[in-house]
Structure 1
Amino acid sequence: MALIVGLESLGIPLPGEAVLIVASVYAATHDGNIAMVIGAATVGAIVGDNIGYMVGRKFGYSLVLKFGSYLGLTEGRVKLGQYLFQKYGGAVVFFGRFFAVLRFLAAFLAGVNQLAWPRFLVANALGGLVWASIVGISAYTFGRGIHELQGPVGAVAFVVAVGIVIAIFVYLRRHEAELQAQAEASLPGPLPGFERRD
């Protein structure tokens, strides 16, 4: 389970949360140890995210320089990403663990945007522990009944996640110029690599 959760955290599309739910239900119905299940999921999340962070920190920025223009990533937008991660990076990493898409993107983006590793580590470890505990204990408590709830709960969580992503996108689009001005004030001057492309 730790391996699957860790690989999902690296960006490989594996069902880490589903595996955690199944393992927790199995522990509930077979006198298993839920603490070991939560521990394995937490370790997998932390290790996988840290590898994703290191990959993003080492290679992500050069990938943005090389391919970012194809995705509309101007220097201003890259600087905006760095500014937002400086300001809210810990929250993004912590809460990203609870949303499927962010679960494997947050760590990589934290690395790309140079979030300080100690901040990342604390937010990542707390996020992994809280996520594994909430999902694991909930599944363990409901035991076999979790199968009846998983569909509706999953659907509601998906709708909420989509709603949050849309709200953030709309906010960023409406306030992009203002946020870019704040980012420029916080990070004045050209970003490394962009001055060579003009």
Structure 2
Amino acid sequence: MLDRIMEWIADYGTVIVFATILIESSGLPVPGESMLVAAGVLAGQGRIGFWEILLAAWAGGALGDNVGYALGRRYGRGFVYRYAGRFGISKSQVARLEQRFLKRGPPIILFARFIFILRQLAGFLAGTARMPYGRFSFYNVLGAGLWPAAYCGGAYLLGAAVEQYLAMGRWVFAAVGLCFVVALGLTIHRFLREIRSEAGKEDGGLPPEPDASSQ
């Protein structure tokens, strides 16, 4: 697959990189990570400009998440309310989750770029939760720059010796990805723990059920 993607980039240049990252960030599962690695390898071999690729990926990622944000803000809440009840989640619980996402969501938006599936859904979730657009844009633009810088930059450094070091390079990319997975996992764990804690406090504050034997 990497060889095929490299052929596409060689034929279409930054356009194919921009379009792929834009589509993936909008919510569709296309091979964005592989595109960045292949583009970085080609840039390292001098067959395409590194900064052109980096800027194309950055712009595609930032714009794509804006599409997801707009869709989430327009349709997300109705979608969640429609299907949440099927999983035993009430509207009040959804509202509580939204409030927590507004508080803990920025790191998730930042690190989600490095996690498949979350990368596609981050913008939609932010729009659904009505995250202020200014805050979303800051972390979105920052994450959209860090992601291609890590993957495309790593591949660029290996590009001149790709045949010899590609296998090692995969471990490098995996290590970078693992760091962000751990950081994101800790953020989500704390997010869920606070939700459970608040739910427990609410349950504990309810008046006790009347004893039927005393009636």
TM-score computed with the length of structure 1 as normaliser: 0.80
**Other-structure match for 2:14:** none
Cα separation, 2, equivalents of 1:56 and 1:70: 20
Q: CA deviation at 1:97?
A: 1.2
Cα separation, 2, equivalents of 1:149 and 1:159: 17
Aligned with 1:26 (options 38, 42, 65): 42
- Percent identical across equivalent pairs? 30
Please give the residue correspondences for 1:16-165 in structure 2 after superposition, counting only pairs within 5 Å.
Answer: 16-143=32-159, 144=162, 147-153=166-172, 156=175, 157=177, 161=181, 165=185
RMSD of aligned residue pairs (Cα, Å): 2.8
Question: Which residue identity is paired with 2:43?
Answer: A
Q: CA deviation at 1:64?
A: 0.9
Cα separation, 1, equivalents of 2:29 and 2:105: 23
Q: CA deviation at 1:136?
A: 1.5
Aligned length: 182
**Other-structure match for 2:206:** none
Question: Which residue identity is paired with 1:109?
Answer: L
Q: 1:57, 1:111 within 8 Å by CA — same for their partners in 2?
A: yes
Listed as ranges, the gaps of 5+ residues in structure 2 are 1-16, 203-215
Listed as ranges, the gaps of 5+ residues in structure 1 are 184-198
Q: CA deviation at 1:159?
A: 9.4
TM-score computed with the length of structure 2 as normaliser: 0.74
Question: Which residue identity is paired with 1:65?
Answer: Y
Question: Which residue identity is paired with 1:114?
Answer: R
Using CA pairs under 8 Å that are at least 6 residues apart, name the structure with larger relative contact order, 1 or 2: 1
Question: Which residue identity is paired with 2:181?
Answer: A
Cα separation, 1, equivalents of 2:190 and 2:149: 32
